[in-house]
A and B are shown apart, each in its own frame.
Chain A
Amino acid sequence: MSAHPDTATSPDEGHYNFAYLDEQTKRMIRRAILKGIAVPGYQVPFASREMPMPYGWGTGGVQVTAAILGADDTLKVIDQGSDDTTNAVSIRGFFEKTAGVETTTRTSEASIIQTRHRIPEALLTEDQVLVYQVPIPEPLRFLEPRETETRKMHALAEYGLMHVKLYEDIARNGHIATTYAYPVEVNDRYVMDPSPTPKFDNPKMHEMAALQLFGAGREKRIYAIPPHTKVKSLDFDDHPFEVQKFEKPCGLCGAENVYLDEVILDDKGGRMFVCSDSDHCEDRRSHGHLGEMAADPAASHLASTGEERA
């Protein structure tokens, strides 16, 4: 390779095509995305490729992102709401390296947000695309293992089995005990797995302004929810759908009505609850919101000087 100064830093001049995938693969994924948008909630089969990461690490989401990503996009990647966990950091690094795109941790600045198991707390806009990493796209799979049968059920909109499952939840536990990957009905037609997001996030999918794309790499399925589309969590008249409620606000930023993670602090039962959406939490703290366990801002210089001495 000649080290030409103008091109040496260009990602296009490296060993990979822009965003890793070859153009034929991108075209095939793009066609599947268009079909997914045209038939909201229907799982479009696609020829998923092997990616340089193991199944379960977001190979489906990565392929969808690679197919839609452009040089002028700004990418945000979250894993369980956080920008700084292993999966998020490695996928962000993957696209920085193979596509050379801008990345960000700020929800409002991103044009594409790839997510593992959370929807950001901030409202998404018309100009954003949310890409989900999906492990098991078929909501009926644990009830009916045969693909031929589940395909027939979707074809006939025959979802009695799912209602029986939710009913059995009520019979055993007194309430619908499904807390994540809570099935939804899209556009009054297809029952869909929203990926293992907490059911707390289900109401955000309803009539969302942003386009939502779902990619399952190992299971080779792509599906989509267009903007402003009806998404209803399955329930019963006498057992309406409810989301989790938290007793306390976020310990760091004091946010209420957000999804919280439990953090164990010691082995004496000490714990705190903090925002799962790290960007939302940081944004609130930078605007002066403080939770009861947040450090006193006046003491921050002590911590920094202590680090310098160490």
Chain B
Amino acid sequence: MVAPHAATPSLTAALAPGFADPVHDAQRCFRALMQTMARPGTIQAYANETIAPPTPLSRTLAALALTLIDYDTPIWLDPALAQNPAVAGYLKFHTGAPLAETPGDAAFALIGDPAALMPLSNFNQGTLEYPDRSTTLLMHMQTLDAAAQVTLEGPGIKTSQPFGAAPLQPMFWDQLTANNAQFPRGVDVIFAGATGFATVPRSTRITKTEA
């Protein structure tokens, strides 16, 4: 541990501002998230200019983390986020969430580099008795309005919903199709863009758009 008087860069980064108004900021973030979870593939605008998470944690991803996690939810950081210890420090300071030893132990997995995402089967898939115990993935995306890569169908979607996000690991949509096939088990994925987010929960059926 650093001495109390030594204001190291990682310590000041850990103490960087979270929500300015924890009650209403978290509520606004959650409502937008609930809307997109209930309507898979639609993009909900969300921006919070006051929080200042350490790089490479994006503002949207940090807002989602502050909204969802606390001491009840072990989190897992992918190597891109783990390389800067200030990220873990920031989340620990604001939420008290313990770091999971393996991705399979995590309630939430924060993915800083989705292009290098490990296979989804590494995360907790839940059980048939308790499908709610699976991991939820929070992914830092550069763009959410990429050309449609997939067509989504299922609960929350009236007919069908085109969706695309970038960057993604090449086999990602195949893995997510397999994820849906094991419903009600499986992970839920939240895509955090720069100005909003979208989700694809496990209940969504995925058809890859012909290139």
Contacts and interface: CB of A to CB of B under 8 A. Distances in A.
Interface in B103-148: 107, 127-132, 136
B203 A39 contact: yes
B68 A70 contact: no
Contacts of A36: 132
B14 interface: no
B27 A70 contact: yes
B54 interface: no
A166 B89 CA distance: 56
Contact of B23 (A23, A33, A229, A230): A23
Interface stretch (A79-87, A134-142, A149-157, A256-264): A149-157
Contacts of B155: 40, 187, 225-226, 228-230
Contacts of B132: 32, 35-36, 39, 42, 44-45
A31 B183 contact: no
Contacts of B72: 24, 28
Contacts of A39: 131-132, 183-184, 201-203
A23 B22 contact: yes
B159 to A, nearest CB: 9
Nearest to B71: A24
A250 interface: no
A71 interface: yes
A295 B184 CA distance: 54
Contacts of B37: 34, 37-38, 226
B34 A211 contact: yes
A12 B149 CA distance: 45
Given A28-B72, A37-B156, A40-B155, A71 B67 contact: no
Interface in A13-37: 17-18, 23-24, 26-28, 30-37
Nearest to B156: A226
B70 interface: yes
Contacts of A18: 23-24, 27
Contact of A227 (B30, B156, B184, B201): B156
A34 B33 contact: yes
Nearest to B72: A28
Given A27-B67, A42-B184, A37 B202 contact: no
Contacts of B154: 187
Nearest to A148: B129
B158 interface: yes
Interface string B61-74: 00000011110110
5 nearest CB pairs, A to B:
A226-B156, A38-B201, A155-B128, A35-B132, A229-B155
Interface of B: 22-24, 26-28, 30-31, 33-34, 37-39, 67-70, 72-73, 107, 127-132, 136, 154-158, 183-184, 188, 201-203
Given A31-B107, A45-B132, A151-B129, 20 more contacts: A23-B22, A23-B23, A26-B27, A31-B73, A33-B34, A34-B33, A34-B136, A37-B37, A37-B201, A38-B188, A67-B30, A68-B31, A70-B31, A155-B129, A187-B155, A190-B184, A226-B155, A227-B38, A228-B155, A229-B156
8 contacts: A12-B23, A23-B26, A30-B67, A36-B132, A39-B132, A39-B183, A39-B184, A68-B27
Interface of A: 12, 17-18, 23-24, 26-28, 30-40, 42, 44-45, 67-71, 151-152, 154-156, 187, 189-190, 207, 211, 224-230
